[in-house]
Chain A
Amino acid sequence: MPTIIAVDASISMLRQVPGRNEHTYLSLAIKGIQHLLDNFTAAGKLEHLALMSYSMTADLRVDFTRDYDQIRQAVKKIETVDKSCLLTLLKTSVSIMSTWGAQNVLQLVVFTDCGLGFCSTSISGFLETYAGKEADPEYAWLRTVANYNLNFICLGLHSDLFFTRALVVYQQLLDAAALKGQLFMTPVKNQETNEGGSAASAPSHKSELGRTAVFELIERLCETSYKSTEVTLRCGSYFRMEAPVLLWPPTTPYEQPAVLGGVEAQLRHIDQRIEVCGFLALSDIGSPATLSRHWVLPKVEREKTSRRSAGMAAGMAKPAKLTLDTNNPNYVLESLEQDIREFYAKDPKDTEESGDDADVTIVLKHSTGPQTEQQRESLCVLLHGALKMENMAALVRMGDKWYGFIYAFADAKKKSNLMLNILPPGSNVIPWLGDLELLGFAEDLAPGETASFPVRADRRSYSQSSVVWIRQASLQSDVQKVLRHAKKMPDKTQHFYKELNRIRRAALALGFVELLEALAMLLEKECAHLTLNGASNECTVQLQHAATELRKTSNRDIKSTIVPHQKGGVSDVSSSAAAASTAGYMY
């Protein structure tokens, strides 16, 4: 989620925090930013960050990057300038965010002491002028800001009346402009309940706003706005084929519109457990429309779970201790895997002896030492490897009649990872795959039945030989086709009649009887022309025959077909009587 970190650079930020000689508001903000960066680093440095400082002007310090050191350096150099103007920041952020498409969730994190600004550039001033002008094009940029998530880290003391009043105005701004925003501030409840008049009690000030308090705000921010979606990915029934994964960026709920007579409009979330239903070749899937895309990352267990360590402890102990506990089959399997690893692992002295053993690809550490994350096997990596090798994607069920695809995605730099494309909810969202609920395996087919992708649709007009004569040129090319065949009779007799009937049929449908007469004339002219040039007798006979048939009003019937003139003088071979013999001439 691309994020602009903005620091208030008004002079008021230089004030010392009351009761905290070691901190100014600015230094606390900088500490907060460093902590935020630490959090993002721990989460894998996935977020694109930009740094801005704002006062009367808003300056871009660092453009969007994943190189957090740049931001760490730049933060230190921020100096206060003049008075605060939040709206300048919001307006400037629109142009800085503009490189990102609407598919990304855009975030703004503002570190401020919640100064309101002064006079016309103040928030209160803005609210006065804005009232009643919501639709004014001058404020169109606010529509764009409304798509962002605004996070305000409000640095201030609840005993400070300026601060508490400012919070109210900030909230008014969010409400008035319909912005998605959240104000993060130190908790106020404890003091009110415990001490009543908090303004009087000095010691509470000291504990209210400090390094720890700011860090807590950052933790809350990360929890609410930057938490990856945690789900369980399941692929088959073996317990190792089921693993907790993180989806980044986090999934956003889908706003399902109300269904007539059915469900009310609702927000739909993906299931806690997403399950692979089967596999499809990438070439069969193509590029269907997707709701959103996410990396599928293995969830890192920060601490060893108690079960894991229990399993390892049991692994260390005599196997005789193991009992088949049907309630917890994984326990047995885990300890078995552990023992096998131990079996493959070399003894410490063994490792020294055989350092040259190249094809040993085993975990060298003894089971007593914890494996590092990179060395612990992961379902995601196995799935990625197999999908990539087979050029396939896994169809994953995200919820009731809601699907997605997991596949190996490689970027331009050939870096590859496991990607999840979430499809729009519904089972019929990809026409060429058909109903996703009806996908099964070859074994499920009835005997003798075959099935393959793509699911064929009815023929569209462009895959039939449509007749459209709105442009004269298309009429011309259809007529010329007949004339071309006419010249090559008797070789092309069947083609000639096929095209002739096609035109005739279309002309009848459109009530274009004028064309039938015109065509008859053209054929007669052609006949005369060809006779002069000594064409074959067969050719002229057929042309004359066709012209006559075209003129017959008795042939203006859907069932009739003009058939070639038969030698032996059966001159009147036409209409429905000839229907049986037409089969031979029709294609």
Chain B
Amino acid sequence: MFERNQKTIFVLDHTRYFSIASEEYISMDFLKGKPTGHSAASGTGSQFSKSLWTCACESSIEYCRVVWDLFPGKKHVRFIVSDTAAHIVNTWSASTQNMSHVMNAMVMVGVPSRSMPHSSDYSVIHGLRAAIEALVEPTDEQIQAMASGIPTDQILNEGRVICITSARDNTSMKSLEDIFNTVLIQQNALSAAAPKKELVINHCHLVILNIVPLGIDSMVTNRNLLAISPLLDVEIHTVGAPDISHKLTHLILDHYDLASTTVTNIPMKEEQNANSSANYDVEILHSRRAHSITCGPDFSLPTSIKQGATYETVTLKWCTPRGCGSADLQPCLGQFLVTPVDVTSRPSSCLINFLLNGRSVLLEMPRKTGSKATSHMLSARGGEIFVHSLCITRSCMDEAPSITDGPGGRVTDYRTSELGQLMKMSRMVPLKSRDPAAPNLARRLPRYFPLTTTSTVLFHLQRHLSWLPHFLHLLLKEDMDKQDEVRCQQHIHELYKSASRGDVLPFTHTNGARLKPHKAKDQYRLLYRELEQLIQLNASTVHHKNLLESLQTLRAAYGDGPTKTDAGTPNLRAFTESPLSPERLEAMSNVSVASSNNSNSLLKASKRRMSNCGTRSLLDIISSAERSQSNKRLDFSGRICTPNGQIAKLYPDFGNKEKDAAAAAATASGVGIVPKEETNRS
């Protein structure tokens, strides 16, 4: 959790020596863009050089650019500038762990003054002391761990100090080392006494970069990692000022276990020659695991060493990108953030912009057999660029078993589009905070959802009965009110009417004409049963309960066994349960059909239509009325019988058991638009 690279501190020597030139000259002509053979060839007046300070500053800032690009918020880098005292540039807190803070703070530090007196007050030692003090300060994560009650001695506190300085010889370097070690031990003793605020340093890695202007030999010898004490490892590198960046790029690979990939053969249009495109390479850095995770026995990633570099880079070939969609849910073993080695170069920014615009790039490597494999993919998401390590070995998931061959694969009437609609309505979005009481998916999806159209009457008819969807919508309302209930009751009553007449429900695939008489009865029984289940599963208000009751009564009236016997209905049941009763109902309605005329109801229907249509021709009205006729849709009979403006009474005759049968017949005849053909056939 708390690795050594979680805390890195740059100690920058800000003494007078660092104001001198690095002796790598930049010619003015070069800046103007004139091709010059060599910068040194120009006159002295037209060239200038970075100071040692600028070299140290830009390379250490570049180091933390890479760290913060690849491990945002996870790995921390601090800067301490040392002259007569230590100047703290930033802290461990997240608000100062970013490029703009560091850059702004550096403006205030400025270049060391050449006019400073040469005295012993000016030293890098101040900075090193401050670095040790900074190491005992906990990071936000460590503070969190301390707050969670973990004993401080269990919180690993390691760090790395990179000191960019310039020492005269090995002796002064040795004394630097010794002082650092002594201070480290002293600080640990102090920190152990203040366990609440500070953490004992478990280990420190000190990297000393001894820099000299170009072409100057140093008396300090390079030294590889050496354990000075159990607490301290030290390594020393002497580098010419212009090469610090290279050195740090090399070191950062080990410090953060990074690897380099060079994307080769990137086609790019030339500014001068827009028709042709030349190929470019872009080098990127990322976690080493992006390479190691894909390695298998029959291939190895091709590596090379770039000119001037001291480390290997894996060269992968750019593949002409595919569409956005094909990049989704690739078999990915790991995703890692990347950052270009040279962020400002034109090829880098071309590749970056290409990716940030939402396209993905597959990277190709050769196999030993000569074939090629796309081992990696670059893609940007949310403004960050990732390298995805893809699975390129054979997988037991190859050759999918087709779902149509599996269980349920031959069923063709799944309610796929309905579920698809629900999915679109249940698309997830990122929230800032989540209310635990917010309905989860189980509460959002319907409580009654038959998988196929052949296991439901209700949802099957939904497509063919225009009033049904609205009815179902009302039924499912969690906050059903009285008005909704009344509307639902109307629909239920309407169903009852149409059942009484023996109307055939508009099934598509059972072809109504062929429906056997006993099935004609079944259709309503099933519809009632399904409606009852639906309401029961969704019952949340008293209105639902009322509906359920009337539906159960209806079922009882229709000769379907009610589920519970209400006190008021046993006689009704006794009556309706006799095997003859449904037939008798139909017989009576048949009689009424014969006497009623269709034109009458056609007129009524058209009147009703007119009320809710604004600008329709007469033909439209008549034809739609006729359509509604053929649909056998009925207006609510209560409305037809009741004068305008009054509320129709529901089931006026219910509970009046003696008159029940007669009432049913009477109401049926009151409407009387059962088509002859249908009833005759049945």
Q: Are A and B co-members of a single complex?
A: yes
Q: Kindly list chain B residues whose C-beta atoms are within 8 Å of the C-beta of A558.
A: 104, 107-108
Contact with A along B1-43 (1 / 0, CB 8 A): 1100000000000000000010000101011110000000000
Q: Which residues of B contact A379 (CB under 8 A)?
A: 451
**Across-interface contacts of B407 in A (CB, < 8 A):** 297-298, 300, 373-374, 376, 378, 380-381
Q: Tell whether A479 is near chain B: CB-to-CB under 8 Å.
A: yes
Contacts of B154 in A (CB 8 A): 260-261
Q: Is B446 an interface residue (CB 8 A)?
A: yes
Chain B residue nearest in CB terms to A511: B111
Question: Are the CB atoms of A410 and B400 closer together than 8 Å?
Answer: yes
Q: Which of A26-34, A191-199, A437-445, A575-583 contacts B (4 or more CB under 8 A)?
A: A437-445
- Would you call A104 and B416 a contact (CB within 8 A)? no
The CA-CA distance from A446 to B447 in the complex, in Å, is: 26
Is A241 interfacial (CB-CB < 8 Å)? yes
What residues of chain A lie closer than 8 Å to B564, measured between beta carbons? Answer: 324
Set of chain B residues within 8 Å of A341, measured between Cβ atoms: 454-455
**Docked-complex contact B428 and A439, CB < 8 angstroms:** yes
Residues of A within 8 A of B346 (CB): 477
A525 to B31, CA, bound (A): 13
Closest to A385 in B: B416
Q: Name the A residues within 8 Å of B419 (CB-CB).
A: 382-383, 385-386
Query: Are the C-beta atoms of A439 and B510 separated by less than 8 Å?
Result: no
* B298 adjacent to A98 (CB under 8 Å): yes
Q: Is the CB of B297 within 8 A of A98?
A: yes
**Nearest chain A CB to B463 CB, angstrom units:** 13
Q: Does B261 contact A (CB under 8 A)?
A: no
Chain A, residue nearest B340 (CB): A462
Q: Given contacts A293-B331, A340-B526, A438-B431, is CB(A99)–CB(B393) below 8 Å? A: yes
Contacting residues of chain B (278-307) with chain A, CB-CB under 8 angstroms: 296-298
Complex interface residues of chain B between 49 and 91 (CB less than 8 A to chain A) = 49-51, 53-54, 57-59, 61-62, 65, 68-69, 72
Task: Verify if A202 is at the interface (C-beta below 8 Å from B).
Answer: no
CB of B423 within 8 A of chain A? yes
Query: If the complex has contacts A289-B333, A440-B434, A444-B431, are A417 and B150 also in contact, measured as CB distance less than 8 A?
Result: no
Interface: A360 (CB within 8 A): yes
* Contact of A393 with B26 at beta-carbon distance under 8 Å, contacts A361-B413, A451-B430 already known: no
Asked if A288 CB lies within 8 Å of chain B CBs, one says yes
Taking CB atoms, residues of chain A closer than 8 Å to B432 are 438, 449, 451
User: Would you call B398 an interface residue if the criterion is a C-beta within 8 Å of the partner chain's C-beta atoms?
Assistant: yes
Q: How many angstroms between the C-alpha atoms of A515 and B26 in the bound complex?
A: 10
Asked if A73 is an interface residue, CB under 8 A from chain B, the answer is no
Q: Which of B69, B98, B106 contacts A509 (CB 8 A)?
A: B106
Taking the complex as formed, is A587 at the interface, i.e. its CB lies under 8 A from any CB of chain B?
A: no
Q: In the complex, A513 Cα to B68 Cα: how many Å? A: 27
Cβ contact within 8 Å between A343 and B408: no
Considering only CB atoms, which chain B residue lies closest to A332 in the complex? B533
Q: Residue of B at shortest CB range from A66?
A: B399
Residues of A contacting B452 in the complex (Cβ-Cβ under 8 angstroms): 377, 382
The answer, yes or no, to whether B189 is at the interface (CB within 8 Å) is no
- Provide the residues of chain B in CB contact with A164, threshold 8 Å: none
The CA of A186 and the CA of B639, in the complex, are separated in Å by: 82
Residue B630 CB within 8 A of the other chain: no
Q: Are B403 and A380 in contact (CB under 8 A)?
A: yes
- Known contacts A261-B154, A518-B31; decide if A454 and B333 are in contact (CB<8 Å): no
The answer on a CB contact under 8 Å between A512 and B396 is no
Given A389-B416, A392-B423, A440-B429, A461-B99 contact (CB < 8 Å): yes
Tell me which of A361, A411, A506 contacts B398 (CB under 8 A): A411
Query: Which B residue's beta carbon lies closest to that of A432?
Result: B381
A433 and B430 in contact (CB under 8 A), knowing A99-B298, A359-B509, A381-B411? yes
Question: Could you say which residues of chain A place their CB within 8 Å of the CB of B519?
Answer: 343
Chain B CB within 8 A of A276 CB: yes
Check: B530 CB closer than 8 A to any chain A CB: yes
Binds A, one of B127-135, B169-177, B382-390: B382-390
Give chain A's interface secondary structure class: mixed
Closest A residue to B507 using CB positions = A344
> Is B592 among interface residues, defined by CB-CB distance under 8 A?
no
B69 and A460: CB pair below 8 A?
yes
Contact: A462 with B348, CB < 8 Å? yes
Interface-side segment among B221-229, B322-330, B642-650:
B322-330
B445 with A439: CB separation less than 8 A: no
Listed stretches A6-14, A174-182, A231-239, A565-573; interface member: A231-239
Q: What residues on B are CB-neighbors of A293 within 8 Å?
A: 331, 395, 397
Verify B454–A454 contact, CB threshold 8 A: no
In the bound complex, do residue B48 and residue A518 qualify as a contact, i.e. CB atoms below 8 Å apart?
A: yes
Interface residue stretch chosen among B206-214, B435-443, B598-606 = B435-443
Contact partners of A339 in chain B: CB under 8 A:
522, 526, 529
Q: Write out the residue numbers on chain A whose beta carbons fall within 8 Å of the beta carbon of B446.
A: 236, 238
B396 / chain A contacts, CB cutoff of 8 Å: 1-2, 46-48, 100, 104, 249
Choose one: B59, B99, B330; the contact of A464 (CB below 8 Å): B99
State the CA gap A407–B511 with chains docked (Å).
37
A240 & B451 in contact (Cβ 8 Å cutoff): yes
Candidates A288, A319, A340, A454; contact of B456 at CB < 8 Å: A340
Q: Does A528 contact B (CB under 8 A)?
A: no
Interface residue? A313 (CB, 8 A):
no
Query: Are B444 and A508 in contact (CB-based, < 8 A)?
Result: no
CA A480 to CA B109, docked complex, whole Å: 28
Tell me whether A415 and B335 are in contact (CB under 8 A): no
Contact A287 B335, beta carbon cutoff 8 Å: yes
User: Which residues of chain A from 306 to 339 have any CB-CB distance to chain B below 8 Å in the complex?
Assistant: 318-324, 329, 332-333, 336-337, 339
Are the CB atoms of A518 and B28 closer together than 8 Å?
A: yes
- CB-CB under 8 A for A350 and B331, given A236-B449, A261-B154: no
Q: Which residues of A contact B50 (CB under 8 A)?
A: 510, 512, 514
- Check A340 against B454 for contact (C-beta < 8 Å): yes
Question: Does A456 sit at the interface, judged by CB under 8 A?
Answer: yes
CB < 8 Å neighbour of B329 from A64, A393, A514: A393
Cβ-based interface call for B164 (8 A): no
A209–B560 CA distance with the chains assembled, in angstroms:
62
Q: How far is the CB of B323 from chain A (nearest CB, A)?
A: 10
Task: List the B residue with the shortest CB-CB distance to A410.
Answer: B400
Greatest chain B CB density within 10 A among A287, A288, A452, A477 is at A287
**How many angstroms between the C-alpha atoms of A541 and B415 in the bound complex?**
76
B363, CB-defined interface residue at 8 Å: no
Whole-angstrom CA separation of A301 from B405 in the bound complex: 16
A265 within 8 A of B: no
Within the complex, what minimum Cβ distance (angstroms) separates A38 from chain B?
A: 18
A409 to B398 CA separation, bound complex (whole angstroms)? 11
CB contacts under 8 Å to B, within A263-305, are 275-283, 285-290, 293, 295, 297-298, 300
**Among listed A76-84, A112-120, A468-476, interface-contacting one:** A468-476
Inter-subunit contact B413/A455 (CB<8 Å): no
Shortest beta-carbon distance from A79 to chain B in Å: 30
CA gap between A291 and B345 in the complex, in Å? 36
Q: Give chain B residues whose Cβ lies under 8 Å from the Cβ of A99.
A: 298, 393-394
Q: In the bound complex, what is the Cα–Cα distance between A2 and B395 (angstroms)?
A: 9
CB-CB under 8 A from A380, the residues of chain B are 403, 406-408
A183 CB-CB contact with B under 8 Å: no
- Closest Cβ–Cβ distance, residue B23 to chain A (whole Å): 12
Judged by a CB distance under 8 angstroms, whether A25 is at the interface is no
Residue A434 is within 8 A (CB to CB) of chain B in the complex: yes
- Give the shortest distance, in Å, between A203 (CB) and chain B (any CB): 45
B51 contact set on A, CB distance < 8 A? 511-512, 514
Inter-chain contact A278/B441, CB cutoff 8 Å? yes
26 interchain pairs (CB within 8 A)?
A: A2-B394, A102-B393, A103-B331, A103-B395, A104-B393, A144-B297, A236-B449, A260-B156, A261-B148, A277-B440, A286-B328, A287-B328, A289-B334, A341-B455, A354-B511, A357-B511, A382-B414, A394-B423, A411-B398, A442-B429, A466-B99, A472-B30, A475-B26, A512-B54, A514-B51, A522-B28
Q: In the complex, given contacts A280-B428, A374-B406, A462-B348, what are 15 additional A-B residue pairs having Cβ atoms less than 8 angstroms apart?
A: A100-B393, A237-B442, A238-B445, A288-B332, A290-B333, A297-B401, A333-B533, A373-B408, A386-B420, A407-B329, A417-B400, A431-B384, A432-B381, A445-B431, A458-B98
